[in-house]
A and B are shown apart, each in its own frame.
Chain A
């Protein structure tokens, strides 16, 4: 049989048609994509109406500025200077002259228009592929005029997803601990803002010490720790309704409550009988279950997005390192083996990486590693920084960084910073006060 096959191949081989030349392209550039964000056009009547309601002279320009700012901060796009645009916004929205946009080296173009319809804001936008000369996407949104910033964020999410392939993270909020006053007498309040720093609000008055707020991955619910009469209490706060409830009082040191991926449980560590272990609490029946049972200090638990595994840090090896176990507490494995101390592991929403804080030779690092501990990458180094929190698409980390004080104890500040997985796009996140312990929400439009 093999001989026959061989003979057959031998016979047909002379008739083989010449092969097409193939060239493998395995590398490209990581430069930000040049994109033109044309101001959204607006008719005179709509412009006057919006000016009356929300005191904005040109809401079309403002929405496009939100989009442009988001794209620029992502580090993946390079919004081109509006002064270079050759085509007027109203004409560009109908049919762009691609030659003009090509001339200024734009590879993608965003156009759109804003209308005042039945006391509401109606926004249409289109994304164009300048090089291919075709429309890539067209969508329209209708909302109350005060929601105009969110429209800008949603447009950015759609554009980002269409051009990068992954979901955006712009229509999101960040909850954090606002800090004011001298270092020894800090007033700490719970605060929330849009991911770009706009719409900042304080959620608590600052009478009690608040720590480690964490968003529920499935809703706009927050869990946080607060000291009431010097006793740690875990709270649940619904951002949308403003309702707050106490989950429970926990004796001794309690740390970092965090939601399970389905939002039905809280996982945290607290000290019982002098030993810190990891516990879960079912939010429906308030049943507490002990997950680890080890004489060492186990803290900072974080679920994998599928809920099957938990990462945490423990000093069971003699030094603080990161461990991963099944969600029932079995099969504990150490995954960090580098020099220094590892802490605050947080599982990426994509499930492929774990972010952590590392202390080595007196410096703090924010880094990522694969879930088996391989491929450790340190993204940023500083005097003091910790508490990384993932953007919902698993591409950007937000954390806080403290500055060194001088001999008189002056010059201390704590600020929020963000960095993407490349490690190059590090940015200060604007907050009205000092800030720490940030947590990124899931997409609001989900």
Chain B
């Protein structure tokens, strides 16, 4: 009895083991993972900073204005929330803020918080052809105010802005401009540490108010003739390129810039 029980249990164990090994879902095959693709999130500005040709710029502005008008014609009257003058906009409110500014541009009357937006039909009733000039003038003033408002940076915005560098498109525009202005002294050795760092203080229009070579002590050291030549060529490039192709907004962000001139890549050929 015991013997048959033993044989039976051994056979059962054997069967269980065979099943466990041979069943496909129990076999732990290595998971075939696809190769990892690293994704870098890059913040890109809403619009490129490459300036448009004057004619194209005007045309684009006209089209934009037309689009705005169309929107205002179709848009139903909206109730506008009161904006507390002391409120500090949160970073999340950024998108909403832009919308508000746009609305302000289209309908200057809205600056008064208590006035409701009126539809185009209602506007027609209010329309007085004698006041066209006055309206145009006013809209100009108001739009200028709006621009000023957008240029003012709140404390929260300032923090965000300070931590941001130039976006890729902004940096590329600046680089492309300086590449064209920098005549590289071809006699320099490519195997020496020749990196010239220049700190610039810029005016809002991109002109340079002050430039400083960060390692200026090296300029007059004996045996640093190559460095001096490179530094002078870099300064010439900056002066030749003025005004620099800097972003049209966010002056606080780029009013100080550091340019690192490194010719090794070019000299190595």
Contact = CB atoms under 8 A, between A and B. Distances in A.
Interface of A: 18-31, 33, 76, 107, 129, 131-132, 136, 160-166, 352, 375, 377, 393, 395, 422
B256 A20 contact: yes
A163 B183 CA distance: 10
B262 interface: yes
Interface string B183-199: 11111100100000001
Interface residues of B, number: 46
Contact of A164 (B186, B199, B257, B262): B186
A22 B266 contact: no
Max count, chain B CB within 10 A of own CB: residue among A23, A136, A393, A422:
A23
B92 to A, nearest CB: 21
B187 A23 contact: no
Given A21-B165, A76-B186, A27 B229 contact: no
Given A18-B162, A165-B225, A25 B184 contact: no
Interface of B: 162-163, 165-166, 171, 174-175, 178-188, 191, 199, 225-226, 229-230, 232-237, 239-240, 253-254, 256-266, 269
Cβ-closest 6 pairs across A and B? A166-B187, A28-B182, A164-B187, A165-B229, A18-B162, A28-B184
B176 to A, nearest CB: 9
Contacts of B263: 26, 28
Contacts of B239: 131-132
B240 A23 contact: no
A25 B187 contact: no
Given A33-B183, A162-B229, A28 B266 contact: yes
Contacts of B165: 19, 21-22
Contacts of B184: 28-30
A400 to B, nearest CB: 25
B186 A30 contact: yes
Contacts of B232: 129, 132, 136
A111 B3 CA distance: 119
9 contacts: A21-B166, A22-B259, A25-B178, A28-B179, A29-B179, A132-B235, A163-B185, A164-B188, A166-B188
A23 B265 contact: no
A26 B258 contact: no
A268 B226 CA distance: 36
A128 to B, nearest CB: 12
A107 B240 contact: yes
Nearest to B188: A165
